[in-house]
Amino acid sequence: MAKLDETLTMLKDLTDAKGIPGNEKEAREVMKKYIESYADEISTDGLGSLIAKKVGNEDGPKIMVAGHLDEVGFMVTQIDNKGFIRFQTVGGWWSQVMLAQRVTIVTKKGDITGVIGSKPPHVLSPEARKKPYEIKDMFIDIGASSKEEAMEWGVLPGDMVVPYFEFTVMNNEKMLLAKAWDNRIGCAIAIDVLKNLKNEEHPNIVYGVGNVQEEVGLRGAKTAAMKIQPDIGFGVDVGIAGDTPGITEKEALSKMGEGPQIILYDASMVSHKGLRDLVVGVAEELNIPYQFDAIPGGGTDAGSIHLTANGVPSLAITIATRYIHSHAAMLHRDDYENTVKLITEVIKRLDRETVDKITFE
């Protein structure tokens, strides 16, 4: 593996952390470690979202930059008499990316390695082999011989199960492969935006946030935004990369390495026109590459933020990522760095007058 610089080390630590919805503590501690030196104050909401506050002008508008701490994973629901684990998906999974994949069960006695198993195709009928194997028929094999042995090792119903994958810098060192890019990359963006603003004047108060439970319904964004009461909200997340074989431009336009995606529309939100126009204007002014996208079937934390209190002008800015909601996703480092740069520069321009103006666009 290539030698890791400071940024890659942070990205590795964030993606290596284990944290499915409702179990974000480890990821929250990693984010806290990296962001606290750039913040004036660290707090959490009642569900465990991390909120790092950085004051520029204490009378200025409140700007929320939110990634989410949780990743898709599984939860132990039963242990059968032979020691096999039954599980519930937590977040969205496609059955075809799950079989024979290695997982880690996090127990009170430590981590247990398992593999997702099924009946072998050799014993299935020809008709059954043609169909995707159903998640409800899968199990996790930890090598236990009985329920008692599995429980002796510490496994209990309710334990989280996390995909296992090693952070990898590809031969093209801009290409980064890891689990949980969705959405530790958003947490990294929030960290680096605060880092960029550490010695800069900005006419507002900035909140770098790691929300909980996004993958099960944008839940932590609701509670964190209620606590912050922001004037402007940015949801930073992964988006769809349309540059792999078989995807048409009609299905997904964006390409890795060609800049942050500015989301026009998704299932959780119609993006705020005034804020969108401002962000595009800053990108044009500074020659920061960007792409537009619309995702009819997904949503980001901006979908919850924009409905807080009296309404918050919000925008989702995402990074084109391949193979999300699987064990290994891939993104481009330039897109990450350009997203950080763009959001930093937008924040520098978000004074009270500008916020008041765009609210009514």
User: Which sequence positions are flagged as catalytic?
Assistant: 214
Q: How many CB atoms neighbour CB 294 within 10 A?
A: 13
Q: Which one-letter amino acid corresponds to residue 147?
A: K
Q: Which helix (H) or strand (E) holds 28?
A: helix 25-35
Rounded-to-integer distance, Cα 283 and Cα 287, Å: 6
Instruction: Decide: 215 and 22 in contact? Cβ < 8 Å.
Output: no
Burial class (CB in 10 A: 0-12, 13-18, 19+), 104: middle
For residue 57, CA distances in Å to 14, 36, 54, 202, 250 come to 30, 19, 9, 7, 44
Q: Which one-letter amino acid corresponds to residue 148?
A: E
Listed in sequence order, the residues at least 6 apart from 31 whose beta carbon sits closer than 8 Å to its beta carbon are 14, 50, 69, 187, 190, 191, 210
Instruction: Decide: 224 and 311 in contact? Cβ < 8 Å.
Output: no
Exposure of 319 in the CB half-sphere (CA atoms within 13 A): 33
Q: Which two tokens stand for residue 267?
A: 């299932």
